Amino acid sequence: MCDIIWCKKPVGGKTCNTVNYLDPYCFWNWEGKVNCAECGTVYYIHMIQGFMYKGPEEKPGEKPDLSPLYADKPLEGYRAYLPGISGRTRPYQCLPRHIYLGKADMVKFSIRGRPTRGWRPQPPSAGIAGQFPYKWDIQALSPEVYEEYKKKLLSGKLKDW
Amino acid sequence: MYPCETDYGTVLYATSNNAFQVRAPHRVKWLGRRLGKDNYEIYRRWIGLSPSKVDELKGKGAI
Amino acid sequence: MAGEIRPKSKEELEEMKAPYEEYCRKAFDPGNECSKPVSLNGIRWLSCTMYIFTPHSAGNLAELGAEVIKIEIPRMGDAMRHTSPFNEAYLYPLHDTRPMTGTGFGFMNANFNKYYLSMDYHIPEMRDVFYNLVRQSDGLTELYRPGTFDRWKMSYRTLQEINPRFIYVWGGGFGYGPKVFGGSYDILAQAHAGFASITGMHDFMGGHCTKSSNWVMDWGSGTLIAYGVLAALHWRRKTGLGTMIEFSQVQTSTRFTEYAVPLYGRFGIVRQRWGNWDTQLCVHGMILCGKSDFPDAENPQDKHDARYVMVSAFQDADFKELCSVIRSKELYEKYRVCKDRVEAMAQVDIYTALEKWAADKSRSAVAKVLTDAGILASPVMNDREVYESEHYRQRGTVRWLDDPLFGDVLLQAGYSAGMLSKTPRRVNWIWRPVGADNLTIYRDLLGYPTSKIEEWYAKAWI
């Protein structure tokens, strides 16, 4: 694990006392300015192999290059700043895309514009004992998708890849 | 002679003389199937045609 | 080299490779696999399996043309069907009676071309039906806890009496021994037998032991079983006898630890992790560049992660060239010979210098500069870039399938396991719903009357 910045800046008569966690992914070999997640004080640090080689030195009035990943206040019941709080901690870049929210996305066409099947609900197969054919009659089961596909075919814009 | 369930109901048929064989008797499982019953599976598995391609050929009267 | 003919221009290179290139294109002919025979034609394999590892062993046979019958729990199916990467990646229906439940893409690559049968084989009423299948099949893969099939009178002991040519595979976690009842997951195999301990960055670099994102132990073990089966088939052709394969998945992980075991045996040294670098060669690793190739992309994988380049310049001459590219004469003076470069601290020094040089460059710029200098370098590509790569497209590695049930599907696994010119692998369909071939198997193969099948279906025995 990397070194941390324990901010001791007096703010409003009290010590800030915030632990700013510097994750190895960004800070392992790094030189630059980091802000404190609570009071916003900007510190210069130079980190080598996860150890604080220089700093933290206060740089009042300067802008930070990066924010810590996460911060908490261990002396005040571990109140924490989670990743992704604008201006305090680093934006969490791995946030799921809007479509990955657990809600089924019933696409009717693949990324190259050909019809897919298998969205729900689906009618029963009407075969004996669950038997399915080797064909999904899209024209009969989803006429609207079939029509749209026909239009796409006619438009000539459909790509092979 | 045995009754056999088929796509056309139960049918009485005469069994093969070779049915009297200990390890691998000849047998009848179905008597006739409707035309093109296994088209989609066979064309997909052995010829590599997708169902839409099969439909296209069917439309042309080729299969 | 003496006697070697070297091309003098790009045109000449094209000309020299043309005949072989043409031969290969014709011999392998991606896209026309189905016009060729399959190598495992006539082999019928039963698969009483779940998840990835054991289904993949049977899936390999199915891709090579065997008729694989996957037997699933009635109404429920393989548990892997529900383990989709994301909720919305499900394809519906799972089953005739469950139109609102689907199967996720996580199920896909281990289950191509199979026939889908549902059967509750553990109830005594269905045992004879199961035996009838065994009589007409060449082998079976199962994954239950050791002894379960034996209790159900379905283990090799029983089945070899019914069919002496039968090849029986048990695939699971530990196999017999002190840990006989331990179950298995890919991550358990990675952890338990040494693989995870040598994957990831060293502690010294702020790293932890790392699980491979891919279920490498499942895919690897499935493939190892598949060639065990091929060996058993060859043995059977010579002797007429089947055999039993007992395959412990954790052993795959041990097998994959390379030189760690003999190293320990000789010197008592425990192998350590070395992350994206190499323990034997330097430079031979992946470095981080400063700029992404796609800074404006929406997807974080493109926007932030398209920054890694793999570099290989471990030969002294190549390293000299690399040092001249990054304009660091001192680095070359310091580490002239490979022996000095592979030392741990030397590697830290060298890769740090490389990353410093790459800090103001984009990934593609770094790869291009190095490649132009004659050094092996490649961007670390993501799925989208693989999809767009012309190389994979021409070889048919990644391709579209018009699946009979699920429509347009993009797939790669069936076509990225080596190409066979006469009997290529192929993907006919990605998967089918639970019990989708019940009638084909029970009636057409085994000869049970339709009324009986409907009765079993109503009782949920199938």
Q: Dump pLDDT digits (tens) for C196-221.
A: 999 988 887 778 888 998 899 999 99
Supply the range of the domain harboring residue A57.
4-81
Domains of chain C: 34-255+399-458 (3.40.50.10540), 284-388 (3.30.1540.10)
User: Are B24 and B48 in the same domain?
Assistant: no
Q: In DSSP terms, which residues pair with C414 in a beta bridge?
A: none
Q: List chain C pLDDT tens, one digit each, 462 residues.
A: 445 667 778 888 777 777 888 899 999 999 899 889 999 999 999 999 999 999 999 999 999 999 999 999 998 889 888 877 765 678 888 888 777 788 888 899 999 999 999 999 999 999 999 999 999 999 999 999 998 999 999 999 999 999 999 999 999 989 888 888 878 888 888 888 888 999 988 887 778 888 998 899 999 999 999 999 999 999 999 999 999 999 999 999 889 988 899 999 999 999 989 989 998 899 999 999 999 999 998 887 888 889 999 999 999 999 999 999 999 999 999 999 989 999 989 999 999 999 999 999 999 999 999 999 999 999 999 989 999 999 999 999 999 999 999 989 999 988 888 899 999 999 999 999 999 999 999 998 998 988 899 999 999 999
C67-72 and C115-118: which strand pairing? parallel
User: Are A35 and A101 in the same domain?
Assistant: no
Q: What domain count does chain B have?
A: 2
Chain B contact present for C429, CB below 8 A: yes
Pick the residue of B52, B53, B54, B57 with the most A CBs within 10 A to test the interface with A by mutation. B52
Tell me if B53 and C402 make a contact (CB, 8 A cut-off).
yes
User: Are B42 and B54 in the same domain?
Assistant: yes
User: Are B43 and B55 in the same domain?
Assistant: yes
Among A81, A114, A131, the domain boundary falls at A81
User: Are B25 and B48 in the same domain?
Assistant: no
pLDDT, tens digit, for every residue of B51-60? 888 988 999 9
User: Are A66 and A113 in the same domain?
Assistant: no
Interface of B with A (CB under 8 A): 40-41, 44, 51, 54
User: Are B39 and B27 in the same domain?
Assistant: no
Residues of B in contact with C404 (CB under 8 A): 40-41, 44, 50-51
User: Are A11 and A65 in the same domain?
Assistant: yes
Please check whether residue A88 lies inside any domain of the structure: no
User: Are B23 and B40 in the same domain?
Assistant: no
Chain B contact present for C34, CB below 8 A: yes
Tokens 């893409």 found at: C105
User: Are B23 and B47 in the same domain?
Assistant: no
- Helical spans, DSSP H, in C361-427: 363-372, 383-388, 390-395
Tell me if B40 and A136 make a contact (CB, 8 A cut-off).
no
Please check whether residue A147 lies inside any domain of the structure: yes
User: Distance between CA B31 and CA C378 in Å, rounded?
Assistant: 61
Pick the residue of A106, A132, A146, A160 with the most C CBs within 10 A to test the interface with C by mutation. A132
Tell me if B40 and A134 make a contact (CB, 8 A cut-off).
yes
User: Distance between CA C148 and CA C140 in Å, rounded?
Assistant: 15
Q: Which residue of B has its CA nearest to A135?
A: B51
Among A55, A81, A107, the domain boundary falls at A81
User: Are A48 and A100 in the same domain?
Assistant: no
User: Are A106 and A74 in the same domain?
Assistant: no
Q: Give the residue-averaged pLDDT of A85-98.
A: 73
User: Are A61 and A110 in the same domain?
Assistant: no
Among A26, A57, A81, the domain boundary falls at A81
User: Are A134 and A160 in the same domain?
Assistant: yes
Question: Which has the closest alpha carbon to C61: C139, C5, C144?
Answer: C139
Q: Which residue of A has its CA nearest to C452?
A: A129
Please check whether residue A86 lies inside any domain of the structure: no
User: Are B22 and B43 in the same domain?
Assistant: no
> What interface predicted TM-score (ipTM) does this complex get?
0.78
Mean pLDDT computed over every residue of chain B: 82
User: Are A60 and A122 in the same domain?
Assistant: no
User: Distance between CA A35 and CA C459 in Å, rounded?
Assistant: 67
Mean pLDDT computed over every residue of chain C: 90
Helix (H, G, I), strand (E, B) or coil at A19: strand
Chain C contact present for B40, CB below 8 A: yes
Are the C-beta atoms of residues A26 and A1 closer than 8 Å to each other?
A: no
Q: What domain count does chain A have?
A: 2
Q: What's residue A94's pLDDT? A: 61
User: Are A12 and A68 in the same domain?
Assistant: yes
Q: How far is CA C61 from the centre of its chain?
A: 14
- Subunit partners of chain B (3 or more CB pairs within 8 A): A, C
User: Are A105 and A76 in the same domain?
Assistant: no
Reading the block at residue A39, the tokens are: 């009071």
Q: In DSSP terms, which residues pair with C168 in a beta bridge?
A: C140, C244
Supply the range of the domain harboring residue B21.
1-32
Please check whether residue A90 lies inside any domain of the structure: no
User: Distance between CA C419 and CA C413 in Å, rounded?
Assistant: 12
Residues of B in contact with A133 (CB under 8 A): 40
The 10 Å CB-count burial string (b at 16+, else e) for C415-431 is: bbeebeeeebbbbbbbb
Q: Which of C87, C205, C436 sits opposite A132 (nearest CB)?
A: C436
Please check whether residue A39 lies inside any domain of the structure: yes
Reading the block at residue B3, the tokens are: 């009754």
User: Are B28 and B42 in the same domain?
Assistant: no
User: Are B41 and B23 in the same domain?
Assistant: no
User: Are A65 and A122 in the same domain?
Assistant: no
User: Are A75 and A100 in the same domain?
Assistant: no
| CB neighbourhood size of A4 (10 A) | 16
- Subunit partners of chain C (3 or more CB pairs within 8 A): A, B
